[in-house]
Structure 1
Amino acid sequence: MSSASKPLYRLKGSVNNYPWGKSGSKSLVAQLAPNAIGSSFTTEESEQYAELWLGTHPNGPSSLFAAETTLQDVLTSYPTLLGSAAQKWPDTTQLPFLFKVLSIARALPLQAHPDRVRARKLHAQDPKSFVDANYKPEIAICIGRAGCVKYVPGLQGGAPDEVAFSGFVGFMPLSDIAAALHGTPELRAAIADDARVDAFLEAPSEERLKDVYTQLVTRADVAAHVRAYVSRTKDRAADGTREGAYAALAAKVADQYPGDVGVFATVFFMNYVQLRPGEGVYIADDEVHAYLEGDIIECMATSDNVLNAGLPAPDPASSEVRAFADTLSYTSAPAPFYMLPALEHSKHTTAYRPPLQEFVVLHTALARAGDEERVCAQGAVVGLVLSGRVRVRAGGEELELEKGGAVFVGGREEVVVSALDGEAEVWWAASFI
């Protein structure tokens, strides 16, 4: 293999600043950025650092750390570096996945990612807003510090002093949604369609859930009802009951987005998940979600397509809100349905395997200096050092990396990682392992 197409490269990622990101040095993204971006990065305490991207998507492409060359340029010139992905997707030289770190201080928008058919249609209609035609199933894995997110009693998930991430994922069981509708007059008033609500309560179904939910998210005047509910239930917040949990969550989200339809559209319809470090969820395309707080590793099929309907709410009459409501699967299931287990992979590594062809995510945790792990790959691999200092070897090349250092390995090469000073952890995304 020539030096121009060597299998091991240090990567330079991209950082995104969004209002929901953590501020300044409190953000894990900002902590990783000096080594993920380079010496040009400086942390501004007034800035919100939300995302670190590693991949080839044009909205945030990675480049070689010490050169102007993009990773996409390398893969276009040497597609064999994609390994098995080159055979699976012969019409593209993009990485099949996009690898991210998110550092979340407040609720992300209420959103869904369209499936392939709708993504192609949206891209054709509005290529400026939908820059790719791919779908975007994703996983999120909690990497925060245990206890850094306040535990909300009364709902499934987590445990006191252990929660490090919280968010809303998928629709709750129909019976739970029906109970919330039945017991919350402000919610019923916000929907403002007794016939739809009564039909759902009489015979809950996913089709009737779509009717009710679409009516809610396309309503223009819900702020007064949100305020009324938060005011009425303020003394019940977190009293240990399900109703107290709803009150606490509504107050939290409404404090961030006063009067927003997303307050009702999340709290009374969606599963609230509280994750401990190392726990993960899988979000299929067309599934509703809204992450709330914490630090996560995120990996997805290579796409940046998203449809929003709240937090903050677009114009409820906009085509985006209607497309959001139409694209949802309306799968109704309890929170464990969305959980993605950590599977034993090898001595120092666990694996997160969603039901996809595009990627698998691995977590390597090395306990002491000299500990070593071999990662056998059949496709392209991206690694990110989350803590400690490591040496990465592949194809006769090697790199030493510290916290925030990122690496690309291609060409079906075995990756060997070893701890240099003590404890170290590396997260990997790979097209096939």
Structure 2
Amino acid sequence: AMQSNETRAPAAAKLKAAVQNYDWGVRGGGESCLVARMAGAEVSEDKPYAELWMGTHPKAPSLVLDEGWNGMHLGEFLRQNECFNGSKTAGLFGGDLPYLFKCLSVAKALSIQAHPDKTLAKLLHAKDSSNYPDDNHKPELACAVTDFEGLCGFRKLEEIMENIRAVPELQQLIGQDVVDMIESSLRQEIPSRAEALKQAFNKVMSTSEDQMQERAKRMIDRLTSTKTRRDVEELVLRINQQFPLDVGLFNILFLNHVRL
């Protein structure tokens, strides 16, 4: 191993990982909160513990706790001890890690996000670094430690059309012209389907707050009074308890619901 400040790097380094207290995290230090249990610090019962970050992200870098390193940022430690990263990775990224390893403890639904590709990520970062602080595309991999539900990627257009037919409030948001476009695109080639999906989703997301909430309330009232509901409709009711009349309720009808 290389040496730094007369201190030889350990075979394995103990890290202090950063905690993110986002509102959707599990509150307090109960057994169900993995993030709080792994944080290694005093836990506040009224604070949410959402994410544990292990990496070199400048927003919340991990610290090296081993004796002689005095809480050094992991990135600086890796720059001084290339053996931990390997020469190829160090040559490409310096002391940075090309990934951010996280543990999540989720109590309620997270915000819906759209990740750009690498080219668009660089462009957005160059134009507006305050809102796009990262020039990476940030593809994600998830491994469920306990039962987990998520929304990921758009459903097949046939499934979306099935939801549109079953949910009159969604039809009203989209408008008959776009509904007809989707129906037509299902009989054509893939490119027209992508455009139809784009038009439908844009209609939902660009509708005024008042109009959207009016239709969301109608949908919730109708589903609440319905005895037999599909799985996706049960999910809409569940998320409405967390975020009443939010536009994300309609997003659920567009996105794949996955269980891990």
Fold in common (TM above 0.5): yes
* Cα offset, 1:52, TM superposition: 0.2
The Cα of 1:136 is off from its aligned counterpart by 0.3
- Indicate conservation of the 8 Å contact 2:21/2:49, yes or no: yes
How far off is 1:230 after superposition?
1.1
Q: Which runs of 5+ in 2 are unaligned?
A: 187-192
Partner of 2:224: 234
Give 2:35's aligned residue: 29
Q: Which has the higher contact order (CA 8 A, sep 6+)?
A: 1
**AA partner of residue 198 (structure 2):** K
> Does 1:104 pair with 2:67?
no
2:113 counterpart SS class: strand
- The structural deviation recorded for 1:95 is 0.7
Query: What's the counterpart of residue 142 of structure 1?
Result: 144
Alpha-carbon shift at residue 178 of structure 1 (Å): 0.7
Please list the CA deviations of residues 111-130 of structure 1 after superposition, one character each: whole Å capped at 9, or x if unmatched. Answer: 12211111111111122222
Please state how far the C-alpha of 1:131 moved relative to its aligned partner: 1.9
Q: Does structure 1 conserve the Cα–Cα contact (< 8 Å) formed by 2:18 and 2:53?
A: yes
1:230–1:247 CA contact under 8 A, matched in 2: no
Q: Say whether residues 1:198 and 2:204 are aligned partners.
A: no
TM, length-normalised to structure 2: 0.87
- What is residue 189 of structure 1 aligned with on the other side? 172
Question: Which consecutive unaligned segments of at least 5 residues does structure 1 have?
Answer: 35-40, 145-163, 276-433
Aligned to 2:23: 19
- The aligned residue for residue 265 of structure 1 is 251
Please state if 1:215 is matched with 2:198.
Answer: no
Higher helix share: 2
The 3 A distance-change label for structure 1 pair 98 and 179 is same
Find the counterpart in structure 1 of residue 259 from structure 2: 274
Q: Distance in 1 between matches of 2:131 and 2:65?
A: 29
Of Structure 1 and Structure 2, the greater strand share is in 1
Which letter does structure 2 place at the counterpart of 1:30? Answer: A
Specify the code of the residue in structure 2 equivalent to 1:272.
H
Query: How far 1:232 moved relative to its partner?
Result: 0.4
Aligned twin of 2:189: none
The alignment-based identity, stated in percent, is: 33
1:10 correspondence with 2:39: no
Relative distance call for 1:199 and 1:97 in structure 2 (3 A) is same
**Aligned counterparts of 1:79 and 1:132: Cα–Cα separation in 2:** 24
Secondary structure of 1:141 counterpart? coil
Moved over 6 A (4+): none
User: Aligned partner of 2:13: which letter?
Assistant: Y
How many pairs align?
A: 243
Conserved 8 A contact 1:12-1:64: yes
Inter-CA distance 13–189: structure 2 relative to 1 (3 Å threshold): same
Matches within 5 A, 1:37-186: 41-66=41-66, 67-83=70-86, 85-86=88-89, 90=92, 92-144=94-146, 164-186=147-169
C-alpha contact (below 8 Å) 1:11/1:65 kept by paired residues: yes
CA contact (8 A) 2:109 2:239 kept: yes
In the TM superposition, what is the alpha-carbon distance from 1:246 to its structure 2 partner?
Answer: 2.2
Q: Select the structure of larger CA radius of gyration.
A: 2
Amino acid paired to 1:209: L
- Shift of the 84–170 alpha-carbon distance from structure 1 to 2, 3 Å rule, reads farther
Is the 1:80–1:86 contact (alpha carbons within 8 Å) kept by the matching residues of 2? no
Report the Cα offset of residue 75 of structure 1: 1.6
- Output one character per residue of 1:62-105: Cα deviation in whole Å (capped at 9) or x when no partner: 01024221110112223343116426x62543111110000001
